[in-house]
Chain A
Amino acid sequence: DAGVTQSPTHLIKTRGQQVTLRCSPKSGHDTVSWYQQALGQGPQFIFQYYEEEERQRGNFPDRFSGHQFPNYSSELNVNALLLGDSALYLCASMRGIPLGRAMADTQYFGPGTRLTVL
């Protein structure tokens, strides 16, 4: 059973450029979340996609955008890159559950994409 996969593994860009990161969810999962992890910090929530719609967004600027495809895979796009965007970008997948359900399902993470902005 394939887990969450992400590509590319590493990426080097310069300030002002644009980048696209890709994620394929674990088999049977239909919900994808993206997180940014700076060095020495815990992951920070960027947004979550379910049924090809962004259903929640964290405290990130509009330069960060995403998309989910009918096969549940997802892309994260970052425009006008800043030095501060250098981080490990993590994708997590889970089964979609209603907000009213008492117990949360587990989010499984991919290996991440290391983005370096010069």
Chain B
Amino acid sequence: EDQVTQSPEALRLQEGESSSLNCSYTVSGLRGLFWYRQDPGKGPEFLFTLYSAGEEKEKERLKATLTKKESFLHITAPKPEDSATYLCAVHMSSNYKLTFGKGTLLTVNP
């Protein structure tokens, strides 16, 4: 069965302390891997789409990378406003749905 696993489940950082979130997947025929940010009680906000191994995308303090079996979301010098749940999702070639991980709850303390 297709599976998406995110780690850690929760991460607490001090402001300015860089770190990485992991998303590993066991699917065949990847059409795209997506990162979303979700604030409490709100809908997921799109961050990045990655399509092939070796691809990297950046936005402000965030950088997403992709290998054949996992993706990393690197957060450089985070600020308290980066606190949120970060969700990873994959889209396989054999269907139309997104399969999500459970997310990583990031807390950045000032």
Mark out the residues of chain B between 37 and 56 whose CB falls within 8 Å of any chain A CB in the assembled complex. 41-46, 49, 51
B32–A56 CB distance below 8 A: no
Which residues of chain B are near A4, meaning CB under 8 Å? 43
B43–A106 CB distance below 8 A: no
Tell me how far the C-beta of B110 lies from the nearest C-beta in chain A, rounded to whole angstroms. Answer: 25
How many Å lie between the Cα of A8 and that of B100 in the bound state? 24
Which residue on chain B has the smallest CB distance to residue A56? B96
Given the interface pairs A43-B98, A43-B100, A56-B96, the reply to whether A90 lies near B49 with Cβ below 8 Å is no
Tell me how far the C-beta of B47 lies from the nearest C-beta in chain A, rounded to whole angstroms. Answer: 10
Which residues of chain B are near A41, meaning CB under 8 Å? 102
- For residue B87, CB closer than 8 A to chain A, the reply is yes
How many Å lie between the Cα of A4 and that of B34 in the bound state? 18
B32–A42 CB distance below 8 A: no
Chain A contact residues (Cβ within 8 angstroms of B): what range?
20 to 34
B96–A99 CB distance below 8 A: yes
How many Å lie between the Cα of A100 and that of B103 in the bound state? 29
Contact of A111 among B42, B46, B93 (CB under 8 A): B42
Chain B contact residues (Cβ within 8 angstroms of A): what range?
20 to 34
Which residues of chain B are near A104, meaning CB under 8 Å? 31-32, 49, 51, 91
Tell me how far the C-beta of B10 lies from the nearest C-beta in chain A, rounded to whole angstroms. Answer: 10
Mark out the residues of chain A between 48 and 67 whose CB falls within 8 Å of any chain B CB in the assembled complex. 48, 50, 55-56, 58
Given the interface pairs A106-B34, A109-B44, the reply to whether A48 lies near B89 with Cβ below 8 Å is no
- For residue A25, CB closer than 8 A to chain B, the reply is no
- Give 10 new A-B contacts, CB below 8 A, not counting A48-B96, A109-B44: A6-B43, A33-B96, A43-B87, A45-B99, A48-B97, A90-B44, A106-B32, A106-B46, A106-B49, A107-B98
What are 24 A-to-B residue pairs whose CB atoms are below 8 Å?
A: A6-B43, A33-B96, A33-B97, A42-B87, A42-B101, A42-B102, A42-B103, A48-B96, A88-B41, A92-B98, A99-B93, A102-B31, A102-B51, A103-B51, A104-B32, A104-B91, A106-B34, A106-B46, A106-B49, A107-B34, A109-B36, A109-B44, A111-B42, A112-B41
